[in-house]
Structure 1
């Protein structure tokens, strides 16, 4: 470790150890029921980052047009930037409406890239409460939410 630290200039070492890790891309979504927007749906986003043993959740309620939004979630770890490993971030979006719970988005992210869930694309989701949860093999997710 000292050898590595000695090889890097102070500026290079700081940049190497302070890399931003994207744990959950920004989410813009809309909740529908039979194709119509649903206001007042509780939407919960949570994730478990295995490397950092970090678990967090956030909740929002859909607006009058059924829209919801979560900002991107980032993390930092000097060991994740230094040691080789396969990233594993389990992501979930759960919807609650009129006493029922819906599996919106279940995904296991294996990179720290911005827009890494669906390479190069932000998460723009449509979640229809009248649809059954299904696997989406093209993006490796499961649930009622699909990409717009």
Structure 2
């Protein structure tokens, strides 16, 4: 579990609670809640482990939780204060990973890259509430400029896919 006390790294601090002073604060992973099932039954007691990379410094934030008897889980949002990214031009790209350990098996639940600093960008501004089925294959979604591979479904309108063959060529 992450400490509730922010850790400080070279003009960067990470915490799971939204700081009172929101200057230069980035949301690395929005709060996520939902239900996990396996073959139609709640995945009771499943261990959920989340790893989030920091945006502009080395290191990860890791936390975990367990599902209840109905397969319900919750992980809080993860924030990082990063003043350096407001001074120097830097691309925001944060890797997100959630794995589930259930009945001795490990499942990738969420593998993605968050490309926008705002909270709830993974659901285009809406709360991130998911329904996940461990027996399903990973599906790809492109949301808010980021790509997410997940066994979960959530109510979000995906980004429009731009195909290279549809782009105008030279001189067109």
**C-alpha separation between the residues in 1 aligned to 2:81 and 2:143?**
29
Contact 2:43 2:102 in 1 (8 A): no
In the alignment of these two chains, the number of paired residues is 133
Deviations along 1:116-138, one digit per CA (max 9) or x if unpaired, are 12211221111111212222245
Relative contact order (alpha carbons < 8 A, sep ≥ 6): 1 or 2 greater?
1
**2:90 paired residue among 69, 85, 91:** 85
Aligned match of 1:127: 132
TM-score under structure 1 length normalisation: 0.81
8 Å contact kept, 2:33–2:130: yes
User: Could you tell me whether the CA contact under 8 Å between 1:30 and 1:67 is conserved in 2?
Assistant: yes
- Listed as ranges, the matches of 1:75-114 within 5 Å are 75-114=80-119
Q: Which structure 1 segments of 5+ residues have no match?
A: 1-14
Task: Identify the structure with the greater helix proportion.
Answer: 1
2:126 counterpart SS class: coil
1:15-48 deviation digits (Å, cap 9, x = unpaired): 7x93221111001121111222121100011111
Residue segments in structure 2 that go unaligned for 5+ positions in a row: 1-20, 156-172
Partner of 1:142: 149
Q: What SS is found at the alignment partner of 2:121? A: coil
Q: How far off its partner does 1:52 sit? A: 2.3
SS state at 1:81 partner? helix
Q: Is the 8 A contact 1:86 1:111 kept in 2?
A: no
* Distance of 1:49 and 1:117 partners within structure 2: 17
